[in-house]
Structure formats: structure tokens, C-alpha cells
């Protein structure tokens, strides 16, 4: 079925519609995802791939990088291009992607394995080899239309592979594994590395001359095709992840803690170069002796044009953790985080500018009531105030060392901050100001549980949430706080009220609580996840978004009756979210992550129109099935119809709407990404015209 689909795409009709724009990175730039591998085909044109299906392309030597749609959320670990158009990326769960147009479209190929693939090497457009876990080796000679498994004679993880022509190649892996083929992989022969350190990268410049690198600064060299491998002194104990040689003498290796090593004499001596970072580097690619690029954790990209004498960052933006965010309109917002970080945007996040906070204390909460007037709070009783949009921040002294985690102002004068004190019980604290922070007064709350979040709908009416399911309510500006029954002992971190009656709180292990009667009763809602939820933002009583650990983003448009998992594009933890209307929102999190949506964050759904002709309604069985983590659903409509495709859980709860729009006659295919859902039985239903059909599918992790 897969080869037929590709044939239609290439030769009959190729229309790929991004049904929803979703969430995209604003910081760090161009991505905050770890980058695992890089390949340049000349000094200008290159690709790098990484976690969560990240693919970036440059055509100007990395001055700018453009995100390409991979169609997967699986991590991509290796990439190989033979020219500016033809390339292959490999990754987790046997993922293989292929492009013949420079990455404008990436097409999934059937690898025949669910093992993780770590490396790939193509010598021409047709011929390539991929390697991975449990000694996996697969080979193609027809552009990846078919991948044939080969016997590696090992069950060790294979991390890297290098072919110098269609027949001669070397793969390296764990426990010092080195294997060699001279017949295109028909036979692989083990070579002695003389060690048990894992080998993670390999580079050959001709059939005889190659270098392998690995754990604890290991560098091995051969000049006789691997008959003998000689250890070289790297001068470091840091693990080396990747190596690139442009000729038999000139090469560069990169690794942990920003390590970059250079040789110009075939490795007789390796010289350490200043990378300017302590971030782990995972990949390196040189196109000649002078021009090269290295990539690594948190989207770091480094470039040299002088053989590594200087390495210049091409990525930008803070990687400090961000904990709080506040927008007053679609364009104007502020984010705060660790080490006193404050970032400001006035153009919807197109650019974020660092502001001087005057402190190195971590900031956890921020609240603006207009473009100019805002307050940020943090550890050791830190409270900062601005009345000029953050051009200057002034410290407000409260004379305590409280840890303050949340703050909310309803106007320029009235605000509340919540947190805990540093006595033996970590007792909860609430501070109140009615004069813009000139004076902060401690309020009596009747609990020792610490508090994490607060929401007010007017100067008098507010709710605070905290540890062990604590919920407190006030209707008199905090003169009195009343403990409410939450029905949970899970810690609550975020709360959002849209009016005095209607609010939502979120917390550990996917906890979501809802009230429509001022908190007299709180009802548990099904989030569909066990991930911790850290922040929540509602723009009206029905429409809200919650964010949490490992990039979790949940969305509801019916007041939480159903929550739909959205694709965030990252596995970084998200700590805060702010929406200014139903569509426009920003989420922030660990490692400086800032994500933006202008369409409500709809899950990325890739839909292909395969052919025009259709005789009858048809809903095909999804494939693969069982699947992990994504599957394809094909359907046919014989006449223009409003088409709905919905996914349901085994109890009949709606999980996601994949399609809901008018479609002309034709056969279509939609991909469902279920990477954040648990294993189990799911159902998908097609409604079009008078036609309704439901089929079962199995997610197996």
C-alpha cells in the first residue's frame, strides 16, 4: 500500500495540506530541540535533524535556518544527502524519511523494523545503509522503495556508519564494535577495536583511511581498511559523538561539554578548540578544510569558516528556564525565569528582547495589567515592578525570604502574590498590595500548604491553589480566605477563572478540576494524560489550554468536557501559558522554550489528496495497525461533502477531530499522531453526506 501511495503522490497528484498550523518555536531560535546530526552538501546548503521530528534547512551557510515538516514526532538521529535535493533521515521506531526536492516534502518509507536507527550513509541517490539498535542494518538500492535487512552478526547498538562507495562501508557501535563490508553488506566482518568503549561516530575518506570516536575521549585510526585500528591521544576524557574528515589528514571531532577537537595530520595530534559552549555537541559536518558546522543540545548550532580557529553561534536566544508569562494583547508580552531572566516582546514574539532585572534570583510569576505596568515575583521574597514596559524594573522590599510562585494584578494598584515561607513546614503565604506594591501585607490563610498559582476576576474575588490539592477562595480581597474541597491530594500549580463562578485548576499527574459555582464544588475532568500540568489559560468559559511536562499541551473548547492533546513540537517541560484570545497564545518552559500559536494550537495533521476519481464512500483500515506512534487513515468520497473524521477512546470519549471541512470528490489520507497517548484500543469514525462508518485501531507502545 505504501509504495502505491507514493506512486500516486509523485506521478498523479501531489497536494499536501497542513490542516492546522499548530505551535512553533520562537525561542531558542531556530529551535530549542536537541539536534542530533548534520549534513552539508556544499558550503551553503545543509540540513540538521533532531528530537521530535525536527528538520532544519539552510541555503546560506546557516545564516538562516528554515523548519521543514517531517510529518513525525519521532526523534531523528541521522541524515545523509547526496546532492541539494536528495536525502534520507532516520530515527526512533525504525523511522525513515525521504526527500527528492530538498526537503519541501518528506515521505515516510517502510523500514521493516521498529528498532531505533542511529546512522545512515548514502553514496548515490539509490544506494544507502542505515544502522541502529540490536545490530540492525538495513540496505536499499532503489531510493528506499524497499529496505532489506542485513546480518551484522552482532546484537550491539550500532551508532554510526560510513560508506565510501556502494560496496565498501564501516559501522561502529557499543562495546567497541567495528564491522566492515566490501560487498555492499552481503557480508559484514567484525574488526578488532582493541577496547570496550562504545564507538559513536565514524568517518572514512577512502577505502583504507578512517577514524572512529567514542566514549571517554576515544579516537581510533586505521590506514588499512580496518585490518588494524590504532588508538590516538585525544587529550580529553569527554565522550566524542561525531567526527568529520575532508581528506586523510584534516578532521574535526565533537562531543560532550562543548568539546571540539581538530587535527591536520591524520590524528597524530588533536588540538582542542574553543566552542564557546558547554552544551553537548552531537554532530559535525565539514565540506572543506575550513568550513564546518556543529550541532547539539537545545538547538545549538556553531559555524566555522577558518578551520575552527573561531566558532560562531548561529542559534540565538536564552536557554534559561522560563516559568511565567503574561500577555496584555496579541503582540505585547513578558516572560520571566531562572537567574533573573526577563524577556519582552512587542511584536507577538517575532523578537524577544532581554531586559535587566537587577537580580540573579529566579523569577516564577509575572502579571501585566497593560503594556507598561507589570510585576514579577520570585525566590527570596523578590518582587520587581515596572511602569514603563520593563525598560526599568524596581525592586519592592517585603522584608522576607518567601518563595513567591504566582502573582496576579487586576488593576495598577490591586495585586496578590502567593508562595511559601522557609520555615520547617514550608508554610503557605499570600501577600496583598492595594497601592501598586509600595506596601505588601501578609494575609492569614489558615493552611501550611504552599501555594503555586492565583487567579482574580476583580479586586475582591480570587482563588489560590497549591500543594496537596489546596484551594483557597476570597470574595473580599483576601481579608479572609476560605479553604475549599478539591477532592484530590495532587499538587495544583495553575488556576484560571474567566468570571466569578467559572474556573479551572491543573496539577500533578494530569489533574484537571473544574468549577462553575465559585468553587463550592470542584469536579475532576479527564485530561487523558498522567503528565504533570503546570499552567492553564482560559479566554472564555469554554476555551482553554493547559501545559505541562514533556511538552504536554491540552486544549478544550467545551469547558473541559473533553481535552484534546496537541502537538507542541518539543519534549521540554512547559511551565506557563497565556492566551489573549481563543486563537493567539504563548507557552513557555525549560531551556528557554517559547512556543507560539495563532490558530489555537491545533494538532499538526498532514493530509494528502491522493487521486481525484472516486466511485463510492469508503473508509479504509488504518495502517500500520497496530501502530506506534502514528498511523495513516485513507478515505474516499464520491461527491463533494462535509467530511468529519473523529478519534474516540474505548469508552466513547472524543480524543481528537482530524478532519472537519468541505471536501471535493477524491481519495484522501490523513495521519494521526498519538505519541502522547497510552497504549490501547481507539476508534476512528468517518461522517460524510449520508455515510457513517467506524473502525477500530490499536496503539501499541
7 is a domain residue: no
Question: Predicted confidence band at 606 (pLDDT cuts at 50, 70, 90)?
Answer: very low
Question: Predicted confidence band at 446 (pLDDT cuts at 50, 70, 90)?
Answer: confident
Element containing residue 653 per DSSP (H, E): none
Question: Predicted confidence band at 425 (pLDDT cuts at 50, 70, 90)?
Answer: low
264 is a domain residue: yes
Indicate the residue among 572, 597, 622 that finishes a domain: 597
Output the pLDDT for position 205: 97
10 is a domain residue: no
Output the pLDDT for position 652: 79
Q: pLDDT for 362-399, tens place per residue?
A: 999 999 999 999 999 999 999 999 999 999 999 998 88
pLDDT above 70 covers a percentage of the chain that reads 95
Output the pLDDT for position 150: 97
Domain that includes residue 686, residue range: 606-699
Output the pLDDT for position 8: 25
Q: pLDDT for 265-322, tens place per residue?
A: 999 999 999 999 999 999 999 999 999 999 999 999 999 999 999 999 999 999 999 9
Is 386 in the same domain as 520?
yes
27 is a domain residue: no
25 is a domain residue: no
Which one is predicted more confidently, 97 or 635?
Answer: 97
Which one is predicted more confidently, 514 or 1?
Answer: 514
* Residue 258: how many other CB atoms lie within 10 Å: 22
163 is a domain residue: yes
The answer to whether the CB of 203 falls within 8 A of the CB of 210 is yes
Output the pLDDT for position 378: 97
pLDDT above 90 covers a percentage of the chain that reads 79
Q: Looking at the predicted structure, is the pLDDT value of residue 226 above 90? A: yes
Average pLDDT over residues 137-144: 97
The answer to whether the CB of 147 falls within 8 A of the CB of 111 is yes
Is 269 in the same domain as 384?
no
Is 548 in the same domain as 402?
yes
Q: Looking at the predicted structure, is the pLDDT value of residue 139 above 90? A: yes
Is 89 in the same domain as 166?
yes
- Count up the domains in the chain and report the number: 3
Q: Looking at the predicted structure, is the pLDDT value of residue 114 above 50? A: yes
Q: Looking at the predicted structure, is the pLDDT value of residue 690 above 80? A: no
Question: Predicted confidence band at 615 (pLDDT cuts at 50, 70, 90)?
Answer: low
Is 506 in the same domain as 572?
yes
Output the pLDDT for position 5: 28
Averaged confidence pLDDT in the chain? 91
The answer to which of 317-321, 539-543, 630-634 has the lowest mean pLDDT is 630-634
The answer to whether the CB of 579 falls within 8 A of the CB of 597 is no
Is 575 in the same domain as 614?
no
Average pLDDT over residues 588-599: 95
3-state secondary structure 339-350: HHCEEEECCCCC
| Residues facing 378 on adjacent strands | 363
Output the pLDDT for position 424: 53
Residue 399 is given by DSSP the state: S
The alpha helices in 506-619, defined as continuous H runs, are: none
Which one is predicted more confidently, 420 or 639?
Answer: 420
Q: Which of helix, strand or coil describes residue 124?
A: coil
Torsion on CA atoms 589, 595, 601, 605, rounded to nearest 10: -110
Is 305 in the same domain as 432?
no
11 is a domain residue: no
Is 617 in the same domain as 569?
no
CATH number at residue 379: 2.130.10.10
Output the pLDDT for position 155: 94
Is 495 in the same domain as 581?
yes
Q: Looking at the predicted structure, is the pLDDT value of residue 584 above 60? A: yes
| Residues facing 332 on adjacent strands | none
Average pLDDT over residues 95-119: 94
Kindly give, in sequence order, each residue whose CB lies less than 8 Å from that of residue 592, ignoring residues fewer than 6 positions away: 27, 28, 32, 298, 317, 318, 319, 320, 321, 322, 337
User: Residue 141: is it exposed, middle or buried by C-beta count within 10 angstroms (0-12/13-18/19+)?
Assistant: middle
Amino acid at each position: 500500500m505504501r509504495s502505491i501511495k507514493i506512486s500516486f503522490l509523485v506521478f498523479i497528484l501531489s497536494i499536501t495540506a497542513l490542516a492546522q498550523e499548530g505551535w512553533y518555536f520562537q525561542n531558542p531560535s531556530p529551535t530549542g530541540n536537541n539536534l542530533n546530526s548534520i549534513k552539508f552538501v556544499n558550503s551553503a546548503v545543509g540540513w540538521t535533524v533532531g528530537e521530535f521530528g525536527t528538520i532544519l534547512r539552510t541555503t546560506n551557510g546557516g545564516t538562516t535556518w528554515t523548519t521543514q515538516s517531517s510529518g513525525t514526532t519521532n526523534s531523528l538521529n541521522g541524515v545523509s544527502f547526496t546532492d541539494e535535493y536528495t536525502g534520507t533521515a532516520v530515527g526512533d521506531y525504525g523511522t525513515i524519511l525521504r526527500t527528492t526536492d530538498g526537503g519541501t516534502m518528506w515521505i515516510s518509507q517502510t523500514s521493516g523494523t521498529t528498532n531505533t536507527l542511529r546512522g545512515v550513509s548514502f553514496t548515490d541517490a539509490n544506494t544507502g545503509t542505515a544502522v541502529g539498535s540490536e545490530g540492525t542494518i538495513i540496505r536499499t538500492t532503489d531510493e528506499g522503495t524497499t529496505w532489506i535487512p542485513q546480518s551484522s552478526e552482532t546484537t550491539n547498538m550500532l551508532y554510526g556508519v560510513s560508506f565510501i562507495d556502494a560496496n565498501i562501508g564501516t559501522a561502529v557501535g557499543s562495546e567497541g564494535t567495528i564491522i566492515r563490508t566490501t560487498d555492499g553488506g552481503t557480508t559484514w566482518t567484525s574488526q578488532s577495536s582493541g577496547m570496550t568503549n562504545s564507538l559513536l561516530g565514524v568517518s572514512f575518506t577512502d577505502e583504507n583511511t578512517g577514524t572512529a570516536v567514542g566514549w571517554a575521549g576515544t579516537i581510533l585510526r586505521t590506514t588499512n581498511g580496518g585490518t588494524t585500528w590504532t588508538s590516538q591521544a585525544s587529550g580529553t576524557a569527554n565522550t566524542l559523538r561525531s567526527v568529520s574528515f575532508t581528506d586523510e589528514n584534516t578532521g574535526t571531532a565533537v562531543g560532550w561539554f562543548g568539546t571540539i577537537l581538530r587535527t591536520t595530520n591524520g590524528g597524530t595530534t588533536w588540538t582542542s578548540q574553543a566552542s564557546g559552549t558547554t552544551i553537548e555537541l552531537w554532530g559535525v559536518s565539514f565540506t572543506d578544510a575550513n568550513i564546518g558546522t556543529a550541532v547539539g543540545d537545545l538547538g545549538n548550532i556553531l559555524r566555522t569558516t577558518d578551520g575552527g580557529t573561531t566558532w560562531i553561534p548561529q542559534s540565538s536566544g536564552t536557554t534559561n528556564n522560563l516559568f511565567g508569562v503574561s500577555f496584555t494583547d496579541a503582540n505585547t508580552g513578558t516572560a520571566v525565569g531562572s537567574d533573573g531572566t526577563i524577556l519582552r516582546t512587542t511584536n507577538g514574539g517575532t523578537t524577544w528582547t532581554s531586559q535587566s532585572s537587577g537580580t540573579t534570583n529566579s523569577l516564577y510569576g509575572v502579571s501585566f495589567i497593560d503594556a507598561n505596568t507589570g510585576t514579577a515575583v520570585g525566590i527570596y521574597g523578590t518582587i520587581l515592578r515596572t511602569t514603563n514596559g520593563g525598560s526599568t524594573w524596581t525592586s519592592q522590599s517585603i522584608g522576607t525570604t518567601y518563595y513567591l510562585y504566582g502573582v496576579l494584578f487586576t488593576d495598577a494598584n490591586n495585586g496578590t502574590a502567593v508562595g511559601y515561607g522557609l520555615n520547617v513546614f514550608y508554610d503557605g503565604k499570600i501577600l496583598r498590595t492595594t497601592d501598586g506594591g509600595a506596601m505588601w501585607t501578609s494575609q492569614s490563610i489558615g493552611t501550611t500548604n504552599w501555594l503555586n498559582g492565583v487567579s482574580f476576576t476583580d479586586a475582591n474575588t480570587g482563588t489560590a491553589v497549591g500543594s496537596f490539592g489546596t484551594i483557597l477562595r476570597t470574595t473580599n480581597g483576601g481579608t479572609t480566605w476560605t479553604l475549599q474541597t478539591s477532592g484530590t491530594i495532587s499538587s495544583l500549580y495553575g488556576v484560571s477563572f474567566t468570571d466569578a463562578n467559572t474556573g479551572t485548576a491543573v496539577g500533578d499527574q494530569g489533574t484537571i478540576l473544574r468549577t462553575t459555582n465559585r468553587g463550592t464544588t470542584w469536579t475532576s475532568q479527564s485530561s487523558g494524560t498522567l503528565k504533570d500540568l503546570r499552567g492553564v489559560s482560559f479566554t472564555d468559559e469554554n476555551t482553554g489550554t493547559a501545559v505541562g511536562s514533556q511538552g504536554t499541551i491540552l486544549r478544550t473548547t467545551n469547558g473541559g468536557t473533553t481535552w484534546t492533546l496537541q502537538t507542541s513540537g518539543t519534549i521540554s517541560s512547559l511551565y506557563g501559558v497565556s492566551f489573549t484570545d481563543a486563537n493567539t497564545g504563548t507557552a513557555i518552559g525549560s531551556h528557554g522554550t517559547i512556543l507560539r500559536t495563532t490558530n489555537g494550537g491545533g494538532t499538526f495533521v498532514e493530509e494528502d489528496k491522493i487521486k481525484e476519481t472516486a466511485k463510492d464512500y469508503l473508509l479504509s483500515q488504518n495502517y500500520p495497525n497496530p501502530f506506534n506512534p502514528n498511523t495513516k487513515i485513507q478515505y474516499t468520497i464520491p461527491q463533494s461533502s462535509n467530511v468529519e473524521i473523529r478519534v474516540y477512546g474505548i469508552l466513547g470519549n472524543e480524543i481528537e477531530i482530524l478532519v472537519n471541512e468541505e471536501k471535493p470528490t477524491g481519495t484522501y489520507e490523513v495521519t494521526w499522531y498519538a505519541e502522547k497517548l497510552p497504549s490501547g484500543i481507539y476508534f476512528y469514525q468517518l461522517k460524510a453526506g449520508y455515510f457513517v462508518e467506524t473502525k477500530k485501531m490499536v496503539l501499541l507502545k
